[in-house]
Structure 1
Amino acid sequence: MSNDDTTPHKPSLWRRIAAFKTIVLTLSMAGLIASNVASLVSASAHDWMHNALRRVLSIGGQTVADRALANSPKAKLDQTVKTKTADLEAKNRLQAKELEDVHVKNRKLAQQLDVNGKQAKATVAAVHQRLAKGVSRNVAALPSESIPYLGLGVTLAVTSLDIYDACQTMKDFNDLLRMMGQGEEKPDLCGQKVPTVDQVLASTKTGWRSSVQRVTDDAKTFKVAVPDVRLPTRDEMTRASCTVVSVPYLCPEK
């Protein structure tokens, strides 16, 4: 047997280099595939590889690394997140400012409501006091109003005071209306004139029935109990007049 048949055939250098390149290429392809799969299924793996590549590129300078990775998916994602975060922060600042403006307006409104409430309470107290005085005055005037002629003068005086009180009350109400931005009502009653004693006596002959009817109708409308309104008898006239003054032919001689 010859030596050629027993000695193993050694591969040439080029074949070994080609085999080595094949192995390296295969491993590289496997590594690329594995890294791509890892970057797709694992965010941390993608970030690690991106940061590793940035460190390598940073050897040439930070500007070079930034320029090289400017169009990478992670860079685009980071830019998108940064932009949306900035927009969200801007919206949050705007909403915070609007909310603060609302709080300021609410505080001012609460203060104004407090001022308005105090003024309304003061107005109601003043009107209540005025009405109480008016009621007391009208009740106190009843005895003198029952006396013929004298009572007419007292009635006119009390009516004048009632008109004055009503005018002051309307002014108070108008202050409240202006405070609430509702304008005001024209107090026409403030200019109403009370007739004189002579004018009332002159209208008695023709106007007393309509006067009684007006008072009676108002009492029915507001469901206020009032005594029967009628002309007095001689005895009633005597009791009303003779206790104050002696009227000839009406009051008995003492």
Structure 2
Amino acid sequence: MLRLIRHTAVILITLALLASNVLLLTNTAFNAAISTALATTLGVRTVSSALSAKLAGSERQARVLKSAQVKRNAAVRGFGKNLTARTKRVAARGIAAIPAESIPYIGAAVVVSSMVYELFEACETLRELDSLYADLGVAENVPSDAMSTLCNPPPLEELFPNPLSQPDV
């Protein structure tokens, strides 16, 4: 009789262990419950708790990345909107200046003023591009020589020295 009870107990324990193994591998709720029970009673860090912590950290990181992506998208969208509007303005003024450029004497002034306007708009584009780079966190900035050449050009005397005003050597 004692032997029958012992054999029955061994068979029941073996079946319970097999069932728990199958449930641990196939049922996430059972796995989480057993993992939590082991972690709280024995103080053991289980694979399930480690993965849960990692998943919670990655969800936090995903939210941070999502907000950064939203900010970058807004910066790019704003830059594109401004660049489109500026390009339309420059093209419209350039086309409107064509008839005035053909007028003798006045045409030269119109050509120069159109060029000055286009340089001003190009400088504004470079400033916005620099701002976009900063918003995106891009380490590269607009080259300083491009900014200084377009936005702070040297005086005309430096670019085109007058050979008549220089003293003879």
TM-score by length of 1: 0.43
Partner residue, 1:140 = 96
Which one of the candidate residues 56, 72, 75 is aligned to 1:116?
Answer: 72
Which one of the candidate residues 86, 98, 104 is aligned to 2:54?
Answer: 98
Partner residue, 1:38 = 7
1:190 matched to 2:151? The reply is yes
User: Contact 1:160–1:194 at 8 Å: present in 2 too?
Assistant: no
Shift of 1:88: 6.7
Partner residue, 2:133 = 177
Shift of 1:131: 1.1
Letter in 1 for 2:90: G
Shift of 1:193: 5.4
Number of paired residues? 130
C-alpha separation in 1, matches of 2:77 and 2:116: 27
Q: Deviations over 1:115-170 (max 9, x none)?
A: 22122111111111111111111111111111232111111111111111001101
Say if 1:126 and 1:141 are closer, same or farther in 2 by CA, change over 3 A: same
Q: What pairs up with 1:58-77 in 2 under 5 angstroms?
A: none
1:166 matched to 2:127? The reply is no
Shift of 1:94: 2.5
Which deviates further from its counterpart, 155-164 or 172-181? 172-181
Say if 1:147 and 1:45 are closer, same or farther in 2 by CA, change over 3 A: closer
Shift of 1:171: 1.1
Shift of 1:110: 1.1
Q: Secondary structure, in 3 states, of the residue corresponding to 2:7? A: helix
User: Contact 1:130–1:165 at 8 Å: present in 2 too?
Assistant: yes
Partner residue, 1:153 = 109
Q: Deviations over 1:39-91 (max 9, x none)?
A: 7x934489xxxxxxxxxxxxxxxxxxxxxxxxxxxxxxxxxxx69x9577543
Q: Secondary structure, in 3 states, of the residue corresponding to 2:103? A: coil
Letter in 2 for 1:172: E
Q: Give unpaired runs (5+ residues) of structure 2.
A: 15-37, 163-169
Q: Give unpaired runs (5+ residues) of structure 1.
A: 1-30, 47-81, 203-254
Letter in 2 for 1:99: L
C-alpha separation in 1, matches of 2:153 and 2:13: 95
Shift of 1:101: 1.1
Partner residue, 1:13 = none
C-alpha separation in 1, matches of 2:127 and 2:105: 34
Letter in 1 for 2:60: V
Shift of 1:36: 10
User: Contact 2:76–2:132 at 8 Å: present in 1 too?
Assistant: yes
C-alpha separation in 2, matches of 1:45 and 1:148: 107
Identity of aligned residues (%): 18
C-alpha separation in 2, matches of 1:137 and 1:193: 26
Q: Mark the structure with the bigger radius of gyration.
A: 1
Q: Deviations over 1:151-209 (max 9, x none)?
A: 1111111111111100110111111112222131122422235859xx7xx9xxxxxxx
